[in-house]
A and B are shown apart, each in its own frame.
Chain A
Amino acid sequence: MTNRVTPYDTPGRHGRCRAGDPASFESSFQAEITNIYSLTAREKLYQIQLVDQEERNRFMFRPGQFVMLEIPGIGEAPFSISSSPLRHGNLELCIRAVGNLTNFLDRVRRGCSVGISGPFGTHFPVENMHGQDILLIAGGLGIVPLRSPLWEVLDNRNRYGTVDIIYGAKRPVELLFTYQYEEWRQFDINLQITVDQGDKDWHGSVGLITEILKERLNRDGDALAAKTCAIVCGPPVMFHFVCDMLIKAGIPMQKIFVSLERRMHCGRGKCCRCNIGSTYTCLDGPVFDYWSAMNLKEAI
């Protein structure tokens, strides 16, 4: 036995495998879906609670970060956290039924047990935006990751200047979180909603986000550059137009933040599926300031 090049690893005391090891690459928390709200025909809001009381108290995240949600045998995928980082308790994930896992989630009922790992990734630095005017621009599902910084801003409303939300969807029935608009407005914010295509019950504005954004940018003029931070999230095609307008209006690139979406299989900077160049969207992102995102080829 002296010629063994390395000593055998001592087998673990628990047999061949171990459960719930925090040091493992595959560690995740058991969690339970406590509530499901239908928001539109395709999107649902899932309230999720970690089963372990201690883990639940310890679980902290920053706005814009994501978790990997796993259902055994079905799959694992990244989802932006959409609840306030300052309110403990339930994690809220807004999920559109569009793939394998999400279509399965669409069919589950309250009490379903899932695995949560994370939180992963960078966040919107709202803690550095005190005293600044906040401009949130969301297109379609882009409102989901923006709801988290929005709630953090609203929960500390007196620390920020004006708060503007410009949110666009294709059709009125696709608007998310409609039940919360009144609650948000009570915090003295300017919420503007637009749809590409109105219907007979729609009395709001019809048109692209960029049109509303143009009005907003013209209104402030020079003050914009000095004290506005912009947070943008939406479909890939939206970033380009919106960020271009913001820069032309004088907002510095490092004060514009975008949240990017890519395919992910690990969330831990290993599988390379989310790579842009060799920048990992999971480690270096998903939140980038516009300067970094612009420097990444093919990012936007």
Chain B
Amino acid sequence: MIFKVFKKKELAALYELLAVNAVVGPVRKGTDRHNQPLNDFARVYSFADLALDYSTTVHSPKRFVLPYRKDLARFTVNEQKWRKETDLDTERPVVFFGMHACDINALNKLDKVLAESVYPVSSYIRKRRNMFIIGLNCRPSPQCFCRSMGTDSVLHGYDMFLTDLGDKYFAEISSVTAFNFLQQIKCRDPGPGDERQYEAVTAEKTARFTTEVDTSDLTKILDLEFYSPAWDRWGRKCLSCGTCANVCPTCYCYGVEESVDLNLQEAHKTRFLYSCNLHDFAKVAGGHNFRPLASTRLKYRYYHKHRGFVEAFEESLCVGCGRCGAACLAGITPPEVIADVRGKKKCVHGREEKHDE
């Protein structure tokens, strides 16, 4: 890995160099009821619009690789005959400016199932190949439990990763494109002082995490606790609205819908993202529903994230960004659910309490 250091004001120059491409980054969208800023990823048209000091975004950057609705195929229908055409999936390059480690890790996890398994999804791969990612070290907010999931740092999947060292940025470079761009701005090799400063900043970040999830032996514990009453407790709260999957950076489940155009000559096949918490997720024609209860659907979501995906790819599908817990209308958060299933109350600041039951 090559490291570079550059002054903070050089970042604007870097932005200008990159801005011939479409740029996506965190922008301030408004404030919530506690007057806290709400951020989200969006197309950026000026460096001043970037809110690089953001703690988290409401939605994940998932929609830029997995749009909520996408046409999979078009049909031209002519009497009894028809012709199916699929998109060429040509993509323009997109610069992602200021993505946190959890979201980069989330894309790496999506790659495993969408790009690196049998039947790769070409539209996803094209989008991924045309991404230029500038990562940004974050300051954890109270909801973050990425450290427990091992996703608080990222090893690959970005072009350049920046750490704020006060008046300068410490850049980790992992692609030749990023290296070439840094040649065009004023930057230097890091000295011993910079390295120490970098270590101090990451150590300080680590100390800031307040939420923890005990993931030791979680796959086995989930199997053992399959019939735990904890699932019913949380299932009774769950509204089955699918908000968690909407904001999740790694939820990729979808449904397919076909529709005929009004001229009756053309038809479309559309993919739309779905949520396993919605009532009809596993309902088959004829009316049988394999997961009719909110508790069984909630449980399935945790099993897929923390057990099934681990079984298939040796890592959890959850990156610990805490968005689902923050967005949940019923106040269901993964740290609390997992602690409850393990028979412990949520672990806050290292304190653990055994459940009364």
A residues at B contact (CB < 8 Å): 1, 3-6, 8-9, 11-12, 16-21, 23-28, 70, 72-77, 96, 98-102, 111-113, 115, 236, 261-263, 265-266, 268-273, 275, 277-279, 283, 297-298
Cα distance A183–B274 in the bound complex, in angstroms: 47
CB <8 Å contact, A98 and B84: no
Query: Is B223 close to A, CB under 8 A?
Result: yes
Instruction: Please state if A102 and B285 are interface contacts (CB–CB under 8 Å).
Output: yes
Chain B: which residue is nearest A102 at the CB level? B285
Q: For B282, give its contact among A1, A262, A268 (CB under 8 Å).
A: A262
Residues of B near A101 (CB, < 8 A) are: 285
A277 close to B83 (CB less than 8 A): no
**Nearest chain B residue, comparing its CB with the CB of A71:** B258
B82 touches A72 (CB 8 A): yes
Chain B residues positioned under 8 Å from A277 (CB to CB): 300, 303-304, 307-308, 311
Whether the Cβ atoms of B118 and A278 lie closer than 8 Å is: no
Q: Closest Cβ of chain B: how far from A263's Cβ, in Å? A: 5
Give the residue name and chain of the A residue nearest to B223 (CB).
A297
B119-A268 in contact (CB<8A): yes
**Contact between chains at B285 and A9 (CB < 8 Å):** no
- Are A272 and B252 within 8 A (Cβ)? yes
Q: Mark B257-298, 1 if CB is under 8 A from A, else 0.
A: 011100000011100001010000111111010110000100
- The distance in angstroms between the C-alpha atoms of A77 and B269, with both chains bound, is 13
Closest residue on chain A to residue B125 by CB atoms: A25
A270-B95 contact in complex given A3-B20, A19-B83, A72-B82, C-beta closer than 8 Å: no
Instruction: For the complex formed, measure the closest distance between the CB of A264 and the CB atoms of chain B, giving whole angstroms.
Output: 9
- A275 CA to B114 CA in the complex, in Å? 15
A-B CB contact pairs (8 Å), 17 listed? A3-B20, A3-B21, A4-B93, A11-B88, A18-B85, A72-B77, A76-B256, A99-B285, A115-B84, A261-B284, A263-B290, A271-B253, A273-B255, A273-B274, A278-B308, A298-B291, A298-B296
How near does chain A come to B301, taking the closest CB pair, in angstroms? Answer: 10
Q: Is B329 an interface residue (CB 8 A)?
A: no
Q: Please state if B282 and A26 are interface contacts (CB–CB under 8 Å).
A: no
- A236 and B119 contacting across the interface, CB-CB below 8 Å: no
Contacts of B281 in A (CB 8 A): 263, 273
Give how many B residues have a beta carbon under 8 Å from the other chain's beta carbons. 72
B41 touches A (CB below 8 Å): no
Residues of A within 8 A of B118 (CB): 268-269, 283
B286 touches A99 (CB 8 A): yes
A112 cross-chain contacts in B, Cβ below 8 A: 80
Known: A262-B290, A275-B300. 12 other contacts (CB 8 A): A3-B181, A6-B129, A8-B92, A17-B87, A23-B122, A25-B119, A25-B121, A73-B267, A113-B82, A265-B256, A269-B118, A298-B291
Contacts A261-B284, A263-B283, A271-B253 given; does A20 touch B84 at CB 8 Å: yes
Contact status A11-B90, CB under 8 Å: yes
Once the chains are docked, how many angstroms separate the CA of A32 from the CA of B260?
20
B254 at the interface (CB under 8 A from A): yes
Q: Are A270 and B113 in contact (CB under 8 A)?
A: yes
Q: Is the CB of A76 within 8 A of B255?
A: no
Q: Is B226 an interface residue (CB 8 A)?
A: yes
Given A73-B267, A113-B82, the answer on whether A16 and B73 have CB atoms closer than 8 Å is no
Q: Are A16 and B285 in contact (CB under 8 A)?
A: no
Q: Does B48 contact A (CB under 8 A)?
A: no
Residue B18 at the chain A interface, CB threshold 8 Å: yes
Q: Nearest chain-B residue to A267 (Cβ)?
A: B119
B17 CB to closest chain A CB, in angstroms? 5
B-to-A contact residues, CB < 8 Å: 17-18, 20-21, 72-75, 77, 80-88, 90-93, 95, 113-114, 117-123, 126, 129-130, 132, 159, 177, 181, 223, 226, 252-256, 258-260, 267-269, 274, 276, 281-286, 288, 290-291, 296, 300, 303-304, 307-309, 311-312
B190 to chain A, nearest CB (A): 24
- B130's partner among A6, A17, A72 (CB-CB below 8 A) is A6
> Are A17 and B267 interface neighbours, CB within 8 A?
no
Query: Across the interface, do A21 and B86 meet the contact criterion of CB distance under 8 Å?
Result: yes
Q: In the docked arrangement, what's the CA distance between A207 and B335, Å?
A: 51
- Cβ–Cβ contact B254 & A3, under 8 A: no
Give complex CA distance A98, B308 in Å.
Answer: 31
Considering residues B81, B88, B120, B269, which has the most beta carbons from chain A within 10 angstroms of its beta carbon? B88
B18 and A5 contact, CB distance less than 8 A: yes
Say whether, besides A25-B120, A98-B286, A270 and B114 are in contact (CB < 8 Å): yes
User: In whole angstroms, what is the CA distance A17 to B86 when docked?
Assistant: 6
With CB as the reference atom, state the residue of chain A lying closest to B80.
Answer: A113
Q: Which residues of A contact B276 (CB under 8 A)?
A: 272, 275
Chain A residue contacts of B159, Cβ below 8 A = 5
Q: Tell me, in angstroms, the Cα distance from A12 to B260 when the chains sit together.
A: 26
Give Cα A27–Cα B86 distance, bound, in whole angstroms.
8
- A17 CA to B90 CA, complexed, in Å: 10
B256 touches A266 (CB 8 A): yes
Knowing A6-B93, A275-B308, A278-B308, say if A270 contacts B82 (CB, 8 Å). no
Residue of A nearest to B120 (CB): A25
Instruction: Report the minimum CB–CB distance from B327 to chain A (whole Å).
Output: 20
